[in-house]
Structure 1
Amino acid sequence: MAHYEAISVAEGAAMLEALFHESPTGLMVLDRELRILRISASTPVLRTAPPEEIIGRHFTEVYDISGPGEVEAMLHGVLERGAPIRGRLVGARRKGARGPECQFRVSASRLEDGQGKILGVLAEIVDVTEREKVRTRLRVLGSVRERTGRTLDVVATCEELVQAVVPDLADIAVVEVVDAVVRGEEPPPSPLGRDVPLRRAAVGRSGGEEQVQAHPVGDVRSLPFPTPYAQTLTDLKPRLVALGPETPWLAAVPPRAEVIRASGAHSLITTPLTLRGTVLGLLSLYRTDQADVYDQRDVTLAVAVAAHTALCIDNARRYTREHTIALTIQRHLLLPQPATGTTVETAHLYVPSDVGGGGSFDTFALSGGRTALVVGEVAGQGIHAVTTMGQIRTATHSLAALGLEPDELLARLNDTAISLAQERAVLPPDDPMPLTGSCAYAVYDPLAQTCTIALAGHPPPVIAHPDGSTEILHLPSGPPLGSTEGPPFAAGKVPLTDGSVLAFYNPSLLSQSADVLPRVLAHTDRPLQDLCDDVLYRLGNDIRHSEVILLLARTHPFPADQVAAWPLDYHPEAVATARAHTQQQLTRWGVDEETTYTTELIVSELITNAIRYGAPPVHLRLIKDRTLTCEVRDSNSLAPRVRHAKTVDEGGRGLSIIAQLTQNWGVRYSPLDGKTVWAEQTLPHAPLPCPLQRP
């Protein structure tokens, strides 16, 4: 068995002396009152004063310590409980010394004699300042990568950056971005021209104190020259600059110089925000009196921070550009003010979403004095949704021109949506959203005073009657657009009295507040735009992130004195009779002779085709609105077609003549009455009807 001998007091004293003089770890002995009894020479940061100014004094009288109360409580706990403390991180500097704190890892143990009497505390101190600087730099880089770029907004990204770097990397941080980049435009190539304006996007300061700024946030101006700021954006190289009263270039920037001196900034890093050779902006980092000066390792960190931020800013810029394009396209698709005619007054409310949606509304005239009302939206956001809605809108107009009933039109529109979805499926998956949409399509007939409505996955309209009562119409609804399965589309016909108001909307509106629309529409005597505004005010901020569409239409019957209709015999002599009726009616309406002659010719050709190729009964109707419409109805559903007659042919030129004489012509079908062939002419100097003055 090994035999161990106790060491002598002299040997122990020698070991203690060697430990205090040779150990790489700093040692400090404190008595029970936490006064310094001894300190090792291996802690030069702590021995910056003669021993007589240190020994015998309370440690808080000698050192400025971050959290002195906590440190003192920790040491008293060691004295009282005897449990050692290991690896506590403490920041400290000599009392009254300027500059940054040094970081120390402190461990403490209680000192006792052989009889267990408490003598004091032994503190083991290791200078970990450089290690903590490395950790801080890594923490800053991680914070920037985690917190910067969470939004797709250029200015918000800059604000996230300054929040991530202050105070660990900088006491003051300033981000300036090329003004065109904030608007989503392409960034300029390097070198940046002296006259290119930059917007001060974000400023951050440690402690959050208010301070006078050289330029306010949002200020737009070009960089001063010659300065490190301008040079950085000329050669795209970062600059590490010492600041002082004699710094020569400060004379070129008096406002900045004044703020730099007032803040006590002594060190500056400027680094470009650049991506693929283009200039996005500039990041300026300052350290003030109580912070260490920057070194090349800080420059390396600033460059890495700027590279990540530049990528985030460019992503936000691209989104801003796409969002602007999407809103521009949608603004051109949406009417600035829906057309208001003799029989339909319209007004709308449109609130775009933050990300741009695929909503749309439309009103347009149909043959026979009718008006089409459309509200719809497609799933998704951005350019994909807007362009798809544009395709759907174009298809709606084309199908409506064929005179299709609303349910049949939605069925054809659904086929179009399915075809578009198939085309999208073979393209690169830029837009993960499937092509689905909803639509409400209605046709108001002022002569019959009915509105025929068909729905494709869309909420039914609200109708407000002239007596103030409101109701949500109970109508059959087909599947959403783009669906390959589901019930067939169906239409419902609703009778309307003079002054009724129809409200078409997208689902986002009622999802905010279901009772707003019925309550507002109860006052149908108010102007329609006032009703739209009232809906908006009642919704308030609830709709700031949603796309909201509301289309209001107040209906009136067609003026009885502006329409004339006659039944005709199914006989060739009916042509002359129709011409006579036409001449008399147009004279009564005050139509000029040239238009009257043209209309007689059109009527002759239409009646001739109905007698030759149609079936009885035959009816003629003239409608005078913004245009002059001639309609001939017969019971044969066979559609006429334009023929290119040869020179020797005696017939076949009727529809060709009509196509040349009219603004528009077409055929619409009825399941009960066969077909109606119509032709429209523009009336010269036709006054626009005023919806507020009933004829």
Structure 2
Amino acid sequence: MPTTGERQWLIRAQSADAVRRQNLGRALLRGLFTESPFHIDVFDAQLRFVAQNARRLKGFRDQDVIGRTMRDVAPAGVLDMAAFEARQQQVLATGEALVATEVRARDSEAPHRDQAFSETIVPLRSSSGAVIGLAHAVFEVTDRVRARERLALVNDASAKIGSTLDVLRTAQELTDVAVPLFADHAFVNLLDPVFGGEEPVLGPIAETVPLRRAATSSTPESPTEVVVATGEVDSFTSGPGALFGRALTTGEPLFLTTEQVIAELAPVDPRRAALVREYGTHSYLLVPMFARGAPLGAAVFLRFRRADPFEADDVLLAQEFVARAAVCIDNARRYTHERATAMALQRNLLPQQLPLLRAVETTSRYLPAGGRAVLGGAWFDVIPLSGARVALVVGDVPGQGLHVAVTMGRLRTAVRTLADLDLSPEELLTHLDDQVSRFQDERGEGLAGGAAGTSCLYAVFDPISRRCAMARAGRPPAARLSAEGKVELLGLPGGPPLGRGGAPFESGEVTLNDGDVLVLHTSRPEETAKDSAGTDLTWLREALSEPQLAASPRLDGICASVVRRLPPSRPQDDIALLVARVRGLHPDRHITWQLAAEPEVVGEARALATRKLAEWDLEELEFTTELVVSELVTNAIRYGSPPIQLRLIRDRGLICEVSDASSTSPHIRRALETDEGGRGLYMVAQLAQLWGTRYHARGKTIWAEQALPTAVTP
């Protein structure tokens, strides 16, 4: 070997394939390690750095890490070091790689932000197969993770917002979804009309339109002080140039810092401005809420526990689930409005106030189907009749919905009209059955067939005879609670439901004593729904058998007892309950005379009526009463048949009745100047407040009622 120091060359020949393989191996190593888009670290078995590619993570650029552990070189607080070393030890011990583990770390250059990494740890083995080191491949996936989290939040909002048709509940679901995954505190303010279920304000938003707090949610670590309670007007939302008014006018979200929020709050509510600074609120996002082009309110999101502020992507996310909530709130508002309208219709179709009558004291209850505010077909009524008599009615159109309620209203009107004709109970139900059949023939949408199966109980109480006549169509019998506490089901004849055909209707009579209580209801328990008569009324007997009820002067206690013991009904059935305490008319308040069918008796009838009016201190009505008595008695003598009867009744008004055995009905007409008669009933109609004719088994009764003088007690 030469020692002269001259350069020597050693030439070794290799095949072209070997050279290509070497070049490919070096290129592969350079591509996988040096030029890889992943940050790659190589550790020995003692978890010390052996190698690191050029793509260093933030915070590691100027450090010499070879021979040191990650715990030695990582910035404080960036990694969960215990978890990191545990993963390394797991791969060393098992020899199995951990692939694509999602790891969270704090951004060393922006401490308020979190970063997400996908970490893969691969064991490095010697020729003998022993694990002698680890290779880490780390890739930042923060954007992907945040996009996934935002998508999950949107999906969560879609699933949880709008579970009910309640405005406030929907607003609460919005804030519950946002906290704590999106914000530390969130609240929803709704325009005052929207809060109440009314139509939203259209056109430009007036600066004076108040917004009310509809919902609030906070993280458990948030301050517990309530600044604005649910239902209260938020003072921050009104006034010249108010923040909420600007957002609702422009329709764009507002993104504010701490100082901007304080500057907006300080002139309106200094205390809240101080709380913003005290709690460390650093990010404030206001998103206006619109549906069908109309403003509903706004949702506000705050961050003070989370270090990272809202970003542009967060604004888009907030707009996404606020838009979802806006649609649900608008649907809930429309439902609330429509329900309120429907319930107003229902209330107007039912009696607004039961009349105050001397013959009966009444109270009622109406229970919507299933305890919810839905329209049903149950109704009740108390109808004053001629001769101080009173009609008591309960009925039920099957089903529920607007068309059922309208049908109920039509039938209730029909019952009142037929009652004014003074028909007997069985005749009234016969005419009502015909009316239901006509409903079925109508082609109006929602009405055809809607009244078939209607049930009705119609009772007429006469306080002079103390007799009560009843007829029922598909209804359970009425119950009587006597003044002594005895409970009895009045098993009077029953008939089929209206519109179903079948046997003719029958009525029955029962004599009632003063203080007896009648209970009429429309309940059809599930177990007896197939029985139109509803024979299983044990629950009603038990409800009326409570010892304190008979002695109680108030009917509310009886209503409450019956309602408490109502058996489970079908969910679609609403229930009407009518309770009436009856009392007869005192003998001093009515008198009856039998008259001969002779013209001379007319003067005698006037004299009898005049003397009775003097006893009742009703001399003020003598003139008109004499005219009414003269005309009615004269008509009975001329056109009727004996026996003739005159009756005076002092009730709410002064009632004059003349009865005869003829069923021929007189007709009112305007007499001509050349006519010698025909003015009698016309004069009666002019002098009396009300007048009419009712028929009975042996003739008819013509009656006229006059109002009592204002100074006289009814």
Computed over aligned residues only, the root mean square deviation of the Cα atoms, in angstroms, reads 4.4
**1:568-612 deviation digits (Å, cap 9, x = unpaired):** 3344445444334333433333321x5233223223322333333
What letter is aligned with 2:289?
L
Per-residue CA shift, 1:624-662, capped at 9, x if unaligned?
211122222333333332233322223332222221121
- CA distance in 1: counterparts of 2:335 and 2:190, whole angstroms: 16
Return the alpha-carbon distance in structure 2 between the equivalents of residues 60 and 465 of structure 1. Answer: 96
Q: How does 1:97-136 map to 2 (within 5 A)?
A: 98-119=111-132, 122-136=135-149
Amino acid at match of 2:274: E
Decide whether the 8 Å contact of 1:337 with 1:347 is kept in 2: no
Q: What SS class does the counterpart of residue 535 from structure 1 fall into?
A: helix
Matched, 1:685 2:710: yes
SS of residue matched to 2:550:
coil
The match for 2:700 is: 675
Matched position secondary structure for 1:304: helix
Is 1:19 aligned to residue 32 of structure 2? yes
Structure 1 residue 42: deviation in Å?
A: 4.4
What corresponds to 1:168 in structure 2? Answer: 181
Residue in 1 that maps onto 2:584: 557
Secondary structure, counterpart of 1:597 in structure 2? helix
Q: Which segment drifts farther, 264-273 or 555-564?
A: 264-273
1:404 to 423, 432, 437: 423
Give the direction of change, closer, same or farther, for the CA distance of 1:378–1:270 in structure 2 (3 Å limit): farther
Give 1:634's aligned residue.
Answer: 660
- Choose the corresponding residue for 2:327, options 311, 324, 328: 311
Indicate the SS of the match to 1:507.
Answer: coil
Secondary structure (helix, strand or coil) at the match of 1:215 reads coil
Q: Is the 8 A contact 1:241 1:269 kept in 2?
A: yes
CA contact (8 A) 2:258 2:284 kept: yes
Rounded Cα–Cα distance in structure 2 between residues aligned with 1:234 and 1:54? 63
* TM-score normalised by structure 1 residue count: 0.83
TM-score (ref. length: structure 2): 0.81
Q: Separation in 2 of the partners of 1:432 and 1:85?
A: 72
- Between stretches 233-242 and 516-525, larger displacement belongs to 516-525
Per-residue displacement from partner, 1:532-575 (whole Å, max 9, x unpaired)? 575399579x9999966543211112212222223333444454
Matches within 5 A, 1:434-473: 434=450, 438-473=455-490
CA offsets 1:37-86 (integer angstroms, 9 cap, x no match): 76655463685784649951469987869999988877766666555555
Name the SS for the 1:201 alignment partner.
Answer: strand
Q: What SS does structure 1 have at the residue aligned with 2:289?
A: strand
Report 1:170-185 matches (<5 A): 170-185=183-198
Residues in 2 aligned to 1:500 and 1:265: alpha-carbon distance in whole angstroms: 71
Question: In the TM superposition, what is the alpha-carbon distance from 1:370 to its structure 2 partner?
Answer: 0.9
Paired with 1:586 and 1:478, the residues of 2 have a C-alpha distance of: 45
Which residue among 213, 234, 241 is the counterpart of 2:249? 234
Higher Rg of the two aligned structures: 2
Shift of 1:401: 0.7
Offset at residue 199 of structure 1 (A): 0.4
**For 1:90 and 1:563, how far apart are their aligned partners in 2?**
97
Tell me which residue corresponds to 1:657.
683
Q: Deviations over 1:299-336 (max 9, x none)?
A: 33333333333332222223333333344455555556
Residue of structure 1 in register with 2:532 after alignment: none
Which consecutive residues of structure 2, in runs of 5 or more, have no partner in the other structure? 1-16, 528-536
Q: Percent identity?
A: 37
Tell me how far apart the structure 2 counterparts of residues 137 and 645 of structure 1 sit (CA, whole Å): 89
* From 238, 259, 284, the counterpart of 1:223: 238
Letter in 1 for 2:679: R
Q: Identify which of 546, 554, 562 aligns with 1:528.
A: 554
> Which residue does the alignment assign to 2:382?
363
Match of 1:501 among 517, 540, 547: 517
1:340 paired with 2:356, answer yes
Conserved in 1, the CA contact under 8 Å of 2:59 and 2:74? no
In 2: Cα distance, 1:486 partner to 1:139 partner: 63
Structure 1 pair 213–590 and aligned structure 2 pair: CA distance change class (3 A): closer
Identify the match of residue 260 of structure 1 among 269, 276, 301: 276
> Does the Cα contact within 8 Å between 2:644 and 2:661 map onto a contact in 1?
yes
Distance 1:81 1:478 in 2: 87
What is residue 151 of structure 2 aligned with on the other side? 138
Distance change in 2, residues 1:156/1:348 (3 Å): same
Q: Are 1:666 and 2:683 an aligned pair?
A: no
Higher alpha-carbon deviation: 114-123 or 232-241: 114-123
The 5 Å alignment of 1:145-224 reads 145-207=158-220, 209-220=222-233, 221=235, 222-223=237-238
Whole-angstrom distance in 1 between the partners of 2:66 and 2:486: 92
Q: Is the 8 A contact 1:323 1:382 kept in 2?
A: no
Residues 656 and 79 (structure 1), Cα distance of their counterparts in 2 relative to 1, 3 Å cut: farther
Distance 1:591 1:223, change over 3 A: closer
Distance 1:615 1:32 in 2: 128
Residues 669-692 of structure 1, C-alpha deviation per residue, up to 9 Å, x if partnerless? 23x223222221112137556xxx
Q: CA separation of 1:52/1:68 partners in 2, compared to 1, >3 Å: closer, same or farther?
A: closer
1:509 and 1:554 mapped to 2: Cα distance? 25
Distance 2:206 2:107 in 1: 49
Shift in CA distance, 415/97, structure 1 to aligned 2, threshold 3 Å: farther
- Residue in structure 2 matched with residue 568 of structure 1 by the alignment: 595
